[in-house]
Amino acid sequence: MLSMIGPNRHLSGLPIIRRIACAALLVVGLAALAIPARAQSQPDIASPQAILVDFESGSVLFERAADTSSPPASIAKMMTMAVVFREIAEGRVSPDTEYKVSEYAWRRGGAPSGGATMFAALNSQIKVSDLLRGAIVPSGNDAAIVLAEGMAGNELAFTVKMNEEAKRLGLTGSSFVNVSGLADPAQKTTPRDMAKIAAHIIRSYPDLYKIYSEPDFLWSKIRQSNRNPLLGMSLGADGFVTGYQKDAGYNLVGSAIQNGQRLIVVIMGSKTEKERAEDARRLLEWGFRSFESRLLFQSGQVVGEATLYGGARGGAPLVGTGPIYVLVSRTGDEKVTARIRYEGPIPAPVEKGAVLARLQVYRGDQLALDVPLAAAETVPQGPLWRRAMDGAYELVVSLLRQGYAKLTG
């Protein structure tokens, strides 16, 4: 049974620490949750980088060097597809639109290149719907380049869109300089970033995501099988892609669903195809077997409070942007803690719905969940006397902090 310290069983009943050091980072409470621990020890995998994430809650179940940037190889095409999917979803491009196969796309990504290709014929016209399948199922470099040229004029211009989309999605360790994933020292990503892209595609473009589960693709009288090894493992897998680069090793992004629970796995830097596939399988099987979802806060339920400066009241109540779930292990006695982080105190006024903080839930030392918290109501600016009192308080705190720093320095 999940329990939380404090009245009303939520973080708003916990003590508030107004400031921490010069970074002005506020931490509201630190609640110990009586939640079961891991059902078994973590899976033994060989790959140097990996992450396993629950799609619904965003809970991280396993991670290894998940924030280390490495060459993505062909899994970079997921960001290419994220941009293409958005263009289609927002009506700027139709699946029936046709694009011409340029000599650049043909030579760099087509049959003459010796890499993954859909075998698009030079100067032919191909529908976007077919190019999508060519870029996803056999991971065709030519298809990805033709899409980029058709939508942005050239590949470089399209990569600007990719990096803008990466910023919008909150990716922090990724940089894209081509659409295919071909080797380039400036092109990099992390397992955590790839998991974010995967979750975004599944959530935002469910119909287009279905292409990732198609078993094969026929073009130019050549039938090519889907490169994702997880699709044939009876795991409930329905996406995504693989990649290989000599200096990067073998990469994979996968997703599977069992009993209504979806997990996303990312493997990077494996030494062999077999190692890559086996490590992904082990993580997925372990995740489905060992964890279950628990509701922490219902939609609209107050999680805690952020301290305000110069407001009509001293704080703003915080709520999630929806219900907040976390995945917890099915058995055992592991400590799970939660806290609210934000920079503050926050100046008033604040508008209802403004994102002010983040709720972080830790499973042991591992960050299991990191979700935004928004103001539950509008708090206007307070009267002059209130602002003066808050200003005096902050001045005293600042002077005390400076004195403490001198004494300890």
Provide the β-strand partners of residue 362: 337, 367
How would you class 255 by CB atoms within 10 Å of its CB: exposed for 0-12, middle for 13-18, buried for 19 or more?
buried
Known catalytic residue: 196?
A: no
Known catalytic residue: 74?
A: yes
CA 367 vs. chain centroid, Å, equals 14
Catalytic-role residue among 47, 70, 139, 180: 139
Residue type, 356: L
CA distances from 115 to 14, 104, 166, 345, 375 (A): 57, 14, 26, 54, 50
Separation CA 146–CA 180 (nearest Å): 10
Catalytic-role residue among 12, 77, 102, 196: 77
Catalytic-role residue among 47, 59, 74, 329: 74
Separation CA 304–CA 41 (nearest Å): 33
The token duo for 247 is 């200096």
The token duo for 138 is 């056999």
First to last CA, the chain: 46
Known catalytic residue: 77?
A: yes
CA distances from 200 to 69, 82, 176, 209, 321 (A): 20, 8, 17, 10, 16
Decide: 14 and 5 in contact? Cβ < 8 Å: yes
345: preceding bond cis by omega (within 30 degrees): yes
Catalytic residues: 74, 77, 139
